[in-house]
Amino acid sequence: MRLMALDIGERRIGVAVSESGFFAAPHSVIYRKSRREDFARIRRLVEDLRIDRLIIGLPYSLSGPDPIGPQARWIMHYADALCAELSIPCEYFDESYSTADAEAFLAQSGGKKTPIDAAAAAVILQNYLDAKMQGNRQE
């Protein structure tokens, strides 16, 4: 199963892929223009890479009674509209600390050529894959 993860930001969207279902890799960064253009570019990637499922990072709030804060609501609104235009399943996954984890990994690995947004998307996707593997082991 081919997976793609998105780290959706106000100016950029980090993209990561997993062709094996075991390992995530940074893919690219989409510089946002308009919803129409963004969605068309993501749709093209989904088609070109033959993606089976889209994972969307959602920034859950770590404080307060509601884990879905304003930023998460904005991303859900954007992603729901995107997913309505795609013919594959979409799933949200917690992106907490993904950018910090990506920065730490890039600093350790010397991966200065990898854009932080794509690296953060890879962290989200790898965490998703790891959680699915853990779930399969417990069944």
Q: How far apart are CA 121 and CA 13, in angstroms?
A: 9
Q: Count of CB atoms within 10 A of residue 32's CB?
A: 16
- Residue 74 tokens read as 């904005």
Q: Does CATH number 2.40.10.340 belong to domain 3-138?
A: no
68 vs 63, 71, 75, 94, 120, CA distance in Å?
Answer: 10, 8, 10, 11, 20
> Residue ranges of the domains in the chain?
3-138
pLDDT tens-digit series, residues 113-136: 878 899 999 999 999 999 988 876
What's the pLDDT score for residue 97? Answer: 66
User: Is the pTM for the entire model greater than 0.95?
Assistant: no
DSSP 92-124: EEE-TTHHHHHHHHHHHHT-TTS-HHHHHHHHH
Residue numbers of the chain with a pLDDT score lower than 50:
138-139
